Amino acid sequence: MEKSKATLKIKRFNPEKDNAPHWESYQIEVEPTDRILDGLNYVKWYQDGTLSFRRSCAHGICGSDAMRIDGRNRLACKILFKDLGEVITVEPIAGLPVIKDLIVDMEPFMEHYRAVLPYLINDDPPPPDERYQSPADRAKFDDTTKCILCACCTTSCPSFWAKEEYIGPAAIVQAHRFIFDSRDHGAAERLDILSDSDGVWRCRTIFNCTDACPRSIEVTRAISEVKREMLFRKM
Ligand code: SF4
Ligand code: F3S
Ligand code: FES
């Protein structure tokens, strides 16, 4: 396949040396089907070994290479050069503290995730074989099982940018996955947590989260279902 020129314009920041972030450009040659992650690897391996970014699976599964590419949150391993222009901007996802270059501190995000009790709660003694669930009941939360905790949604949400205490769409997606699981008994507790002033009602239905999700989860819809469930249970 024929190679073409591309420029990666990357926002760099090294807290040990820099007072503020700055842009640096790198010229590379790429095949159209190369992914932005391939380009970043090329820069790191052959041009500037100090460039820092997270990546692992390279197949859209681990969620570690979320970044802002041409102004939109995406996974670098899922975006091809042929789908973007010749000059491509790459920045860290917004709203979380930058540790270095494209690496942000995920701890505040994970704190919100842990807050919604993202695990099955059921103290009933387990049946001899398994806890059965009908296909119809399983379908109620199928979409939200696909979340890989990449943070593309939460860090594209203006409500989160405005107030970092907002629990954020990713945590609500994770709560949804258990609230609508017929085998789980922790829905009331989770809904109580999400009814806080920094919980679901801080969502203004802006839809950036849904647009940003690399797993095509209907994030805003999941949030609306949680809001409805909260109101329904209060009636
Ligand atoms: Fe990432 Fe989508 Fe999960 Fe949000 S809902 S963390 S965008 S996979
Ligand atoms: Fe934010 Fe998504 Fe709601 S972008 S405001 S969480 S619909
Ligand atoms: Fe794992 Fe991109 S490197 S999702």
What 3 state SS string does 54-77 have? CCCCCCCCCCCCEEEECCEEEEHH
Residue 29 CB partners (closer than 8 Å, separation 6+): 3, 4, 5, 6
Rounded CA gap, 155 and 67, in Å?
Answer: 10
Judged by its nearest atom, the ligand closest to the C-alpha of residue 54 is: 3
For residue 67, the cross-strand partners are 74
The type of residue at 107 is: E
Q: pTM for this structure?
A: 0.95
- Cβ–ligand 3 contact at 57 (below 6 Å): yes
Both tokens assigned to 142: 């199928």
Q: How confident is the model at residue 235 (pLDDT cuts 50, 70, 90)?
A: low
Kindly state the percentage of the chain with pLDDT values over 90: 97
| Contact indicator for 155, 93 with CB cutoff of 8 Å | yes
Which homologous superfamily does the CATH classification assign to the domain defined by 4-104? Beta-grasp domain (3.10.20.30)
Q: What is the pLDDT of residue 31?
A: 96
List the CATH code of the domain at 107-234.
Answer: 1.10.1060.10
Gap from CA of 149 to ligand 1 centroid (Å): 5
**Domain regions of the chain by residue span:** 4-104, 107-234
Residue pLDDT, tens place only, 31-74: 999 999 999 999 999 999 999 999 999 999 999 999 999 999 99
Rg (alpha carbons) of the chain, rounded to whole number = 20
Which residue among 38, 44, 75, 103 has the greatest number of ligand 3 atoms within 8 angstroms of its CB, and so is best to mutate?
Answer: 75
Q: How confident is the model at residue 1 (pLDDT cuts 50, 70, 90)?
A: confident
Which residue among 41, 56, 102 has the greatest number of ligand 3 atoms within 8 angstroms of its CB, and so is best to mutate?
Answer: 56
